[in-house]
Amino acid sequence: MMRMSRYILVGIIFGVTMYKTEAVSWFRIFEMFHFQAFHMYGIIGSAVALGILVVQWIKKQHLKSVEGQEIVIPDKDTSWKRYIFGGFIFGLGWALAGVCPGPMFVLLGAGYTVFVVFLLAAITGTFVYGKLRSKLPH
């Protein structure tokens, strides 16, 4: 139970953060893609800057996870096609819907029940990708 509740707690921190920074707002995403405010760039930029320091620190310290194993962060593929093409399709959806996967769960919990349909559409998209995967450039 302890093991389960800790993940829920992390999710709660994440959800409140997404909501209170207005990252769940279609209008904030709209503003970001118009380069009209620093806000979203500040969130992502400060997260990446601090994140780089944290990851470097983890590696240097050979920090162990709670289970006692050294924390390893697996490298991603070195190709570029899947990232550019897949990223482009994701970006179309991000700007159109105004939510990426995290905020979608946050808004669903906030009471916008129509996101059940969004979730089903996203699962369908994932499923169609799974079916087409061998035919797509990666």
Which residues ranging from 13 to 42 are in contact with another protein (CB under 8 A)?
13-34, 36-42
Apex 38 CA angle, 90 and 52, nearest 5 = 70
How far is the C-alpha of 76 from the C-alpha of 26, rounded, in Å? 30
Tell me whether residue 60 or residue 78 sits nearer to another protein (CB atom): 78
The DSSP annotation for 78-127 comes to S-SHHHHHHHHHHHHHHHHHS--HHHHHHHHHHT-TTHHHHHHHHHHHHH
- In the 8-state DSSP scheme, what is residue 65? -
* Residues 74-113, interacting with another protein (CB under 8 A): 74-80, 82-102, 104-113
* Contact between 61 and another protein per CB under 8 A: no
Tell me whether residue 7 or residue 60 sits nearer to another protein (CB atom): 7
Tell me whether residue 27 or residue 62 sits nearer to another protein (CB atom): 27
- Min dist. Cβ of residue 5 to another protein (A): 8
Q: Containing H/E element for 21?
A: none
How far is the C-alpha of 102 from the C-alpha of 77, rounded, in Å? 23
- Min dist. Cβ of residue 62 to another protein (A): 13
* Contact between 6 and another protein per CB under 8 A: yes
- Min dist. Cβ of residue 131 to another protein (A): 5
How many residues of this chain bind another protein (CB under 8 A)? 114
* Contact between 54 and another protein per CB under 8 A: yes
